Chain A
Amino acid sequence: VSFERIAPALAAVFLAAAPAFAPADPTPPEGASAIVRETLDAALEILGDEKLSDDQKLARIEELSYARFDFQTISRLVLARGWRQMTEEQRGEFVEEFKRHLSVTYGQNLLDYKSQKIEMRDSRLEPNGDVTVRTEVVGGPAEPIRIDYRMRGNEQDWLVIDVIIEGVSLIQNFRAQTQEILTSKGPQGLIELLREKNEAAQKGG
């Protein structure tokens, strides 16, 4: 155990009575954070609307998130090297199926989130210009859930390129899964598997 490791601990012991450390960097782009806030507010409004059926809610949430997520970039990042192994047509298919996958599997989860509130925490400018917007879902029956959104800006907008739930990045997680499937089944096999999963989920849901 190095001294560098222990020094902060010792400091913490001596400073125990002092207020907690202030956040380091207060002003990364507020634009990305505002966009996330806006989108989440809109989503909560849809979920809290008692006049809508669950299906209607899901349809509206889908519409909202399709406009806000950059599925092309998400797919490229998930597939990494696999993207290059795919033909233009396979890429298009993958993007569509992956989009549908996130919608049928994760959309359903949202219906639980009626009464919760979302608190914004400090966002962070990443070295490559992305912004990580950090949020916390509070007021549920259990502990708060931390959800971070990695945002990438283009000329006119900020789009979501990753969602990180309690430290688990969606991109990293799906990359780990798809890499193994790409190795064993190839690009077409991966797309087929995704399609089967989606069809099963849609039937089941």
Chain B
Amino acid sequence: MRPSSARARALLSAALLLGCATSGAVAQGDGRGRGESLNRGVFWLNLRVDDYLLEPAAQGWSFVTPEAVRLAVDRLFVNLRFPIRFAANLGQGKVRPSASELARFLVNSTLGVGGLFDPARRLGLEPYGEDFGQTFGWWGIGTGPYWVLPLIGPSDPRDALGLLFDTALDPLTWLNLGVPGIGALDVVNSRALAADDILRARAAALDYYVFVRDAYLQHREALVRDSESLSGEPAPRGPADDLYEIEDEEEDEEEP
């Protein structure tokens, strides 16, 4: 499961299903063509894994735990993954955010009982969720084509590379070698927290594959844009302006 920022997780975990992920160019048409049938195939496979394995496991987990416990477990994992956010912030020259993340980690690991609680926030230490996909985006690296990765879910070449860096820095990667099942707990717990969102997203989507693809691309691009805005540009831009032009007679859809 992708170590995304807590916010990314909170929000459209629905759309980012099966691996809250990472990415870039909002594209009308990206991901179609050559790669699409393969992507759709892998997406379908991931959904089956979710239907038969992950969702039932998450339901069971929800049955035996109150939501407060699931949220605490989530905070614990988020806290554990502090090295990723620290390094990804530094990689974008964000010294204050990375310092804030460091302070949060120190406070929450101690006063917050390993991260089960978040007393740092009450001290005014804000989280700055970043990952290496975002860092590479901030460096100006494009996303490349949309990819659906087996078991991981939505991604693209840039975010897949970012995921490698994230995974290398993820204490869970090392913990898992000694204590098997910790990673599984994280995945099941995250899936349980996102259950309602996923259910609604599947009901709302006309084409769930396209819904997820587009939500992923838009969301990742917004995250990268937000990062840029911190470094001195004005408030982050919204979607491209031509999205809001009513077309009259002429064809003027354009590639970004």
Contact = CB atoms under 8 A, between A and B. Distances in A.
A binds B: yes
B9 A143 contact: yes
Interface string B217-243: 011011101100011111100110101
Contacts, number: 170
Interface residues on chain A, size class: 35 or more
A169 interface: yes
Contacts of B223: 167
Nearest to B6: A143
Contacts of B7: 143-145, 166
Interface string A1-29: 11001101111110010001101110000
Contacts of B9: 142-143
B245 A173 contact: no
A28 to B, nearest CB: 10
Interface residues of B, number: 59
Contact of B214 (A23, A177, A201): A177
Interface in A122-154: 122, 124, 126-128, 130, 132, 134, 140-146, 148, 150, 152
Interface of A: 1-2, 5-6, 8-13, 16, 20-21, 23-25, 73, 76-77, 80-81, 83-84, 101, 105-106, 108-109, 112, 122, 124, 126-128, 130, 132, 134, 140-146, 148, 150, 152, 161-162, 164-169, 171-181, 190, 193-194, 197, 200-201, 204
Interface of B: 5-12, 15, 26, 28, 32, 67, 71, 92-96, 99, 127, 139-140, 193, 196, 200, 203-207, 210-211, 213-215, 218-219, 221-223, 225-226, 230-235, 238-239, 241, 243-247, 251, 253
Which 7 A-B pairs rank lowest in CB-CB distance, beginning with the nearest?
A167-B222, A9-B93, A24-B234, A142-B10, A105-B204, A143-B10, A8-B231
26 contacts: A6-B93, A8-B93, A8-B231, A9-B92, A24-B235, A73-B246, A77-B244, A80-B253, A81-B251, A105-B203, A128-B244, A134-B235, A140-B10, A143-B5, A145-B7, A166-B8, A167-B222, A167-B225, A168-B215, A169-B243, A173-B214, A174-B206, A176-B213, A177-B205, A181-B206, A197-B206
